Amino acid sequence: MTDVFTALAQDHHEVKAMLAELERGPTKATGATADQLALRKKMTEQLIIEESKHEALEEMYFWPAVRDHLESGSTLADQATGQEQDAKHVLASLDKLGPDDAEFEKLLAKFVVDAREHIEFEESQVWPLMRAALPPEIAAELGDKIAGGKKSAPTRPHPHTPPSPGALKAAGPAVAAADKARDAVTGRGD
Protein backbone atom coordinates (compact mmCIF):
# COMPACT_ATOMS: atom_id res chain seq x y z
CA MET A 1 0.00 0.00 0.00
CA THR A 2 1.25 3.45 -0.91
CA ASP A 3 -0.16 6.57 0.65
CA VAL A 4 -1.14 9.11 -2.02
CA PHE A 5 1.24 11.75 -0.68
CA THR A 6 4.14 9.30 -0.70
CA ALA A 7 3.36 8.28 -4.29
CA LEU A 8 3.12 11.88 -5.50
CA ALA A 9 6.16 13.01 -3.47
CA GLN A 10 8.24 10.29 -5.09
CA ASP A 11 7.28 11.58 -8.54
CA HIS A 12 8.00 15.18 -7.52
CA HIS A 13 11.40 14.15 -6.21
CA GLU A 14 12.25 12.43 -9.51
CA VAL A 15 11.01 15.34 -11.61
CA LYS A 16 12.94 17.87 -9.53
CA ALA A 17 16.13 15.81 -9.92
CA MET A 18 15.64 15.80 -13.71
CA LEU A 19 15.03 19.57 -13.73
CA ALA A 20 18.23 20.16 -11.76
CA GLU A 21 20.21 17.89 -14.09
CA LEU A 22 18.87 19.63 -17.20
CA GLU A 23 19.53 23.02 -15.67
CA ARG A 24 23.21 22.09 -15.20
CA GLY A 25 23.62 21.73 -18.99
CA PRO A 26 25.71 21.93 -21.03
CA THR A 27 23.51 23.42 -23.76
CA LYS A 28 24.27 24.25 -27.36
CA ALA A 29 25.01 27.85 -26.28
CA THR A 30 27.42 26.72 -23.56
CA GLY A 31 29.34 24.43 -25.88
CA ALA A 32 27.68 21.00 -25.63
CA THR A 33 29.03 18.36 -28.03
CA ALA A 34 26.69 16.50 -30.42
CA ASP A 35 26.66 13.53 -28.02
CA GLN A 36 25.83 15.76 -25.07
CA LEU A 37 23.00 17.35 -27.05
CA ALA A 38 21.62 13.93 -28.01
CA LEU A 39 21.66 12.96 -24.34
CA ARG A 40 19.99 16.26 -23.44
CA LYS A 41 17.18 15.45 -25.86
CA LYS A 42 16.80 11.95 -24.35
CA MET A 43 16.69 13.38 -20.83
CA THR A 44 14.07 15.89 -21.93
CA GLU A 45 11.99 13.08 -23.45
CA GLN A 46 12.23 11.18 -20.18
CA LEU A 47 11.13 14.29 -18.29
CA ILE A 48 8.14 14.70 -20.62
CA ILE A 49 7.19 11.04 -20.21
CA GLU A 50 7.35 11.13 -16.39
CA GLU A 51 5.59 14.48 -16.22
CA SER A 52 2.82 13.37 -18.61
CA LYS A 53 2.12 10.24 -16.55
CA HIS A 54 2.22 12.13 -13.27
CA GLU A 55 -0.17 14.90 -14.30
CA ALA A 56 -2.58 12.48 -16.03
CA LEU A 57 -2.77 10.36 -12.86
CA GLU A 58 -3.27 13.41 -10.66
CA GLU A 59 -6.06 14.52 -12.95
CA MET A 60 -7.70 11.10 -12.84
CA TYR A 61 -7.45 10.50 -9.11
CA PHE A 62 -6.05 13.35 -7.03
CA TRP A 63 -7.92 16.45 -8.21
CA PRO A 64 -11.33 14.74 -8.06
CA ALA A 65 -10.54 13.86 -4.42
CA VAL A 66 -9.50 17.47 -3.74
CA ARG A 67 -12.82 18.64 -5.17
CA ASP A 68 -14.70 16.11 -3.02
CA HIS A 69 -12.91 16.59 0.28
CA LEU A 70 -12.08 20.31 0.54
CA GLU A 71 -14.39 23.26 0.75
CA SER A 72 -11.92 25.23 -1.39
CA GLY A 73 -11.32 22.10 -3.50
CA SER A 74 -12.78 23.32 -6.77
CA THR A 75 -10.81 26.56 -6.68
CA LEU A 76 -7.56 24.74 -5.86
CA ALA A 77 -8.14 22.00 -8.43
CA ASP A 78 -9.05 24.52 -11.15
CA GLN A 79 -5.92 26.50 -10.42
CA ALA A 80 -3.69 23.41 -10.42
CA THR A 81 -5.16 21.79 -13.53
CA GLY A 82 -4.86 25.18 -15.26
CA GLN A 83 -1.13 25.15 -14.48
CA GLU A 84 -0.93 21.56 -15.72
CA GLN A 85 -2.67 22.39 -19.01
CA ASP A 86 -0.28 25.33 -19.58
CA ALA A 87 2.67 23.05 -18.93
CA LYS A 88 1.33 20.46 -21.40
CA HIS A 89 1.30 23.09 -24.17
CA VAL A 90 4.93 23.94 -23.38
CA LEU A 91 5.95 20.27 -23.29
CA ALA A 92 4.10 19.42 -26.50
CA SER A 93 6.06 22.17 -28.29
CA LEU A 94 9.30 21.18 -26.60
CA ASP A 95 8.84 17.52 -27.60
CA LYS A 96 8.89 18.53 -31.28
CA LEU A 97 12.16 20.50 -31.13
CA GLY A 98 15.75 19.44 -31.50
CA PRO A 99 18.23 20.27 -28.72
CA ASP A 100 20.19 22.56 -31.05
CA ASP A 101 17.13 24.77 -31.65
CA ALA A 102 17.27 28.05 -29.66
CA GLU A 103 13.55 27.69 -28.89
CA PHE A 104 14.27 24.33 -27.21
CA GLU A 105 16.25 25.96 -24.39
CA LYS A 106 13.75 28.80 -24.05
CA LEU A 107 10.86 26.38 -23.58
CA LEU A 108 12.85 24.09 -21.32
CA ALA A 109 13.89 27.02 -19.10
CA LYS A 110 10.27 28.15 -18.90
CA PHE A 111 9.15 24.64 -17.99
CA VAL A 112 11.79 24.34 -15.24
CA VAL A 113 10.50 27.52 -13.54
CA ASP A 114 6.81 26.67 -14.02
CA ALA A 115 7.20 23.05 -12.89
CA ARG A 116 8.94 24.06 -9.65
CA GLU A 117 6.18 26.58 -8.96
CA HIS A 118 3.50 24.00 -9.70
CA ILE A 119 5.07 21.41 -7.40
CA GLU A 120 5.44 24.04 -4.68
CA PHE A 121 1.78 24.99 -5.11
CA GLU A 122 0.66 21.39 -4.71
CA GLU A 123 2.92 20.59 -1.79
CA SER A 124 2.39 23.78 0.21
CA GLN A 125 -1.15 24.91 -0.69
CA VAL A 126 -2.99 21.65 -1.32
CA TRP A 127 -1.30 18.78 0.48
CA PRO A 128 -1.53 20.16 4.03
CA LEU A 129 -5.30 20.61 3.64
CA MET A 130 -5.67 17.18 2.05
CA ARG A 131 -3.55 15.47 4.69
CA ALA A 132 -5.97 16.84 7.28
CA ALA A 133 -9.13 16.07 5.30
CA LEU A 134 -8.50 12.72 3.64
CA PRO A 135 -9.38 9.57 5.60
CA PRO A 136 -6.32 7.27 5.73
CA GLU A 137 -8.04 4.45 3.83
CA ILE A 138 -8.83 6.80 0.95
CA ALA A 139 -5.27 8.18 0.99
CA ALA A 140 -4.03 4.59 0.70
CA GLU A 141 -6.49 3.68 -2.04
CA LEU A 142 -5.55 6.74 -4.13
CA GLY A 143 -1.87 6.02 -3.60
CA ASP A 144 -2.32 2.50 -4.95
CA LYS A 145 -4.25 3.77 -7.96
CA ILE A 146 -1.57 6.32 -8.78
CA ALA A 147 1.35 3.93 -8.24
CA GLY A 148 -0.47 1.17 -10.15
CA GLY A 149 -1.61 3.46 -12.97
CA LYS A 150 1.90 4.28 -14.17
CA LYS A 151 2.08 1.42 -16.70
CA SER A 152 -1.09 2.46 -18.50
CA ALA A 153 -0.74 6.24 -18.25
CA PRO A 154 -0.17 8.44 -21.32
CA THR A 155 3.49 9.24 -22.01
CA ARG A 156 2.80 12.41 -24.02
CA PRO A 157 1.30 15.70 -22.84
CA HIS A 158 -2.02 15.86 -24.84
CA PRO A 159 -2.84 19.53 -24.13
CA HIS A 160 -6.10 19.25 -26.08
CA THR A 161 -7.60 16.58 -23.82
CA PRO A 162 -9.57 18.32 -21.04
CA PRO A 163 -8.13 17.59 -17.58
CA SER A 164 -11.36 16.02 -16.35
CA PRO A 165 -11.26 12.51 -14.91
CA GLY A 166 -14.13 11.41 -17.18
CA ALA A 167 -12.37 12.46 -20.37
CA LEU A 168 -9.12 10.93 -19.20
CA LYS A 169 -10.68 7.65 -18.13
CA ALA A 170 -12.56 7.36 -21.42
CA ALA A 171 -9.68 8.35 -23.69
CA GLY A 172 -6.77 7.42 -21.42
CA PRO A 173 -6.12 3.73 -22.20
CA ALA A 174 -6.34 4.17 -25.98
CA VAL A 175 -4.25 7.33 -25.84
CA ALA A 176 -1.65 5.68 -23.63
CA ALA A 177 -1.46 2.64 -25.94
CA ALA A 178 -1.01 4.92 -28.96
CA ASP A 179 1.69 6.88 -27.12
CA LYS A 180 3.57 3.70 -26.28
CA ALA A 181 3.31 2.39 -29.84
CA ARG A 182 4.80 5.63 -31.14
CA ASP A 183 7.51 5.54 -28.45
CA ALA A 184 8.44 1.99 -29.51
CA VAL A 185 8.79 2.99 -33.16
CA THR A 186 10.87 6.11 -32.49
CA GLY A 187 12.89 4.77 -29.56
CA ARG A 188 11.64 7.68 -27.48
CA GLY A 189 12.35 7.31 -23.78
CA ASP A 190 14.74 4.31 -24.21
| Least gap, CB of 22 to Fe ion (angstroms) | 18
**Stretch in the footprint of Fe ion (CB under 5 A) among 30-38, 57-65, 102-110, 167-175:** 57-65
Q: By C-beta, is 115 or 176 nearer to Fe ion?
A: 115
- Does residue 51 touch Fe ion according to CB under 5 A? no
- Does residue 50 touch Fe ion according to CB under 5 A? no
CA separation, residue 101 to residues 37, 41, 51, 97 (Å): 11, 11, 22, 7
Beta strands of the chain (E only): which ranges? Answer: none
Question: Which string of x and - marks every residue 122-141 that binds Fe ion (by CB under 5 A)?
Answer: x-------------------
- Residue 79: which of 133, 114, 121, 30 has the closest Cα? 121
Residue 172 CB contacts under 8 Å (≥ 6 apart), including other chains: 56, 60, 152, 153, 154
Among 51, 58, 141, 179, binds Fe ion (CB under 5 A): 58
- Does residue 3 touch Fe ion according to CB under 5 A? no
Residues for the chain: how many in total?
190
Report how far residue 62's alpha carbon sits from residue 23's, in angstroms, rounded to the nearest whole number. 29
| Least gap, CB of 15 to Fe ion (angstroms) | 8
| Least gap, CB of 120 to Fe ion (angstroms) | 10
130, 3 in Cβ contact below 8 A? no
Binding-site size for Fe ion (CB under 5 A) equals 2
| Least gap, CB of 134 to Fe ion (angstroms) | 16
**Stretch in the footprint of Fe ion (CB under 5 A) among 16-24, 121-129, 169-177, 181-189:** 121-129
Q: By C-beta, is 37 or 133 nearer to Fe ion?
A: 133
Distinct helix (H) and strand (E) counts, the chain: 8, 0
Residues forming the site for Fe ion (CB under 5 A): 58, 122
